[in-house]
Amino acid sequence: MGEEKAEGKIAAGKGAWETVEDKFIEIFSSPKLAIFIFIILAVLSVFGTMIEQNREPSMYIAAYGDKWYGVIRGLGLTDIYHSWYFSLTLILLSVNLAVCFFRRLPPKWRLIRDKSVVMAEDAILRQKNSARLNHNMSLQHIKDSVFGLLRKKGYKVTTAETGSDVSIFAHRGAIGRIGSDITHVGLLIIFLGAILGSFMGFKGFATIFEGETKHIKEGGFELRVDKFWIEYYDDYRPKGFFSTLTVIDNGKDVLKKTIKVNDPLRYKGIWFYQSSYGQAWDRIDKARLFVYERETGKFVAEVIADFGKEIEVPNTNLKLKIIGFVADFFYDTASKEVFSKSIEHNNPAMQIEVYEKGILKTAPWVFAKYPEAFLDKSTKYFIEAAGYQAPQYTGLSITRDPGVNIVWVGSTLLTLGLFLSFFVIHKRIWVKIVDKNNKVDIYVGGNANKNKINFDKDFSNLINELNRIEK
């Protein structure tokens, strides 16, 4: 990153429009603006991490109070990364990057393509590093030696005969000059990919029960969840969450894969990620029920009842049928309806129809966590829900992002550009060998665009080796 400071001088005698254009280019290619934009983006991002983003209003009101919530919301601080001023700053940055790129690249490109070999002796001696030496050897021998030496050091060497003299130009690492430009283009490409992704992609989430099939409308195919399970370490910490998925396209099973965290399924550009899991909140597969005599508390029988199916209770004339389930029981007194307050199994309850001699007697709610809440006295029995099994669902993130590969291309260029600009030095050396009747004068000059201390060493090594050229 050693480009010269660019000055945007406005030449006299230009039209008003050209002056405006020059002014625009000058402002947008100045490093001051870049630094200013970095600071703005950093400060806005700090705000974004200090104030939680995209939460429900009640959370903000609890944390900041009504009045401040209005202010924070009004300023867009609850979704700062999508606010107009954040977007505007990113646009400014993009313009800054593009203007810099188009302004700085052409002169650098001309410089690295520059193949002018011949340089006058005094110009050579005016280089940052220079030396003059002589040998009692033939011009041709010196020329071959210098040529070989520079080639061995990895330089690209070109020579030109100028009358009785020989000129040599050698350089290496020219690509290092445009490292910063490659980085800037990489960043622009990342932005492009991000914009493409946000307009053409989608992010969704689905909960699918084992055995269920879901239509994926964005891809025009079906996805079936065959199985979901959790594996544990010896200390009962989860080791992995797994879903076996089958893609059904045109009625045929076309792809089957067991996904886990870090290992998604991909089909037709749509990715399915293992994201969460849980149990149904509105139904169960089966329940284990205990039946007692209410008066004596005597245990009568245990049955495993399938959801929605009548089951006979041994030793009695009872039949039971589970007809409803809620994971988090709530009774709405206004509508007189039962529903689940949440999807958490906080207060699981099931409604059971009780038939005596084939006649429906009652249909009480049985609370799995509070057996003593069974107050129904229609029969002489007391029913307890000892356990139940609810269908499991897997939570899948479903995304399509056509910009993501563009983002990776940009990221690669960005990184490559950084390494080029920090570690690849453009070193240039000019040599002129002047023939003086079987003696030669050698003029050597050179410079490097960065890490000049390193080049000082290189150059003095080169001069030492040139001094030691033998016949």
**Contact residues for other proteins, defined by CB under 8 A:** 1-3, 5, 31-32, 34-35, 38-39, 41-42, 45-46, 48-49, 53, 81, 194, 203, 233, 235, 237-241, 260-264, 271, 273, 275, 397-399, 401, 404, 407-408, 411, 414-415, 418-419, 422, 453
DSSP string, 419-440: HHHHH---EEEEEEEEEETTEE
Residue 293, judged by CB atoms within 10 A of its CB (0-12, 13-18, 19+), counts as middle
Q: Tokens 């009101």 sit at which residue?
A: 61
The dihedrals phi and psi of 290, each to the nearest 5 degrees, come to: -105, 140
Q: Nearest distance from residue 415's CB to other proteins, in Å? A: 6
Q: Nearest distance from residue 279's CB to other proteins, in Å? A: 19
Q: Nearest distance from residue 446's CB to other proteins, in Å? A: 21
Choose between 24 and 81: whose C-beta lies nearer to other proteins.
81
Choose between 53 and 461: whose C-beta lies nearer to other proteins.
53
Half-sphere exposure of 365 (CA within 13 A, CB side): 18
Element (H, E) at 385: strand 381-389
Cα distance between residue 226 and residue 217, in whole Å: 20
SS3 category, 194: helix
Cα distance between residue 396 and residue 342, in whole Å: 20
Choose between 259 and 390: whose C-beta lies nearer to other proteins.
259
Farthest-apart Cα atoms in the chain, separation: 131
Q: Nearest distance from residue 35's CB to other proteins, in Å? A: 5
Strand residue runs (E) in 81-220:
129-135, 156-162, 165-172, 202-209, 213-216
Q: Nearest distance from residue 147's CB to other proteins, in Å? A: 31
Q: Nearest distance from residue 421's CB to other proteins, in Å? A: 9
Choose between 95 and 363: whose C-beta lies nearer to other proteins.
95
Residues 344/332, Cβ–Cβ less than 8 Å: no
Q: Nearest distance from residue 434's CB to other proteins, in Å? A: 37
Residues 406/187, Cβ–Cβ less than 8 Å: no
Choose between 366 and 398: whose C-beta lies nearer to other proteins.
398
Choose between 255 and 404: whose C-beta lies nearer to other proteins.
404
Q: Nearest distance from residue 455's CB to other proteins, in Å? A: 14
Q: Nearest distance from residue 399's CB to other proteins, in Å? A: 5
Choose between 131 and 413: whose C-beta lies nearer to other proteins.
413
* Integer angstrom CA distances of residue 460 from 127, 135, 319, 335, 457: 14, 17, 102, 94, 5
Neighbours of 193 (CB within 10 A): 21
Q: Nearest distance from residue 299's CB to other proteins, in Å? A: 43
Half-sphere exposure of 303 (CA within 13 A, CB side): 23
Best CA proximity match to 214, nearest among 343, 398, 389: 398
Choose between 19 and 454: whose C-beta lies nearer to other proteins.
454
Choose between 311 and 404: whose C-beta lies nearer to other proteins.
404
Choose between 389 and 415: whose C-beta lies nearer to other proteins.
415
Q: 36-70 burial string, b = 16+ CB within 10 Å, else e? A: ebeebeeebeeebeebeeeeeeeebeeeeeeeebe
Q: Nearest distance from residue 12's CB to other proteins, in Å? A: 27
Choose between 39 and 71: whose C-beta lies nearer to other proteins.
39
Q: 81-119 burial string, b = 16+ CB within 10 Å, else e? A: eebeebeebbebbbebbebbbeebbeebeeebeeeebeb
The dihedrals phi and psi of 211, each to the nearest 5 degrees, come to: 85, -15
Q: Nearest distance from residue 339's CB to other proteins, in Å? A: 31
Choose between 87 and 116: whose C-beta lies nearer to other proteins.
87
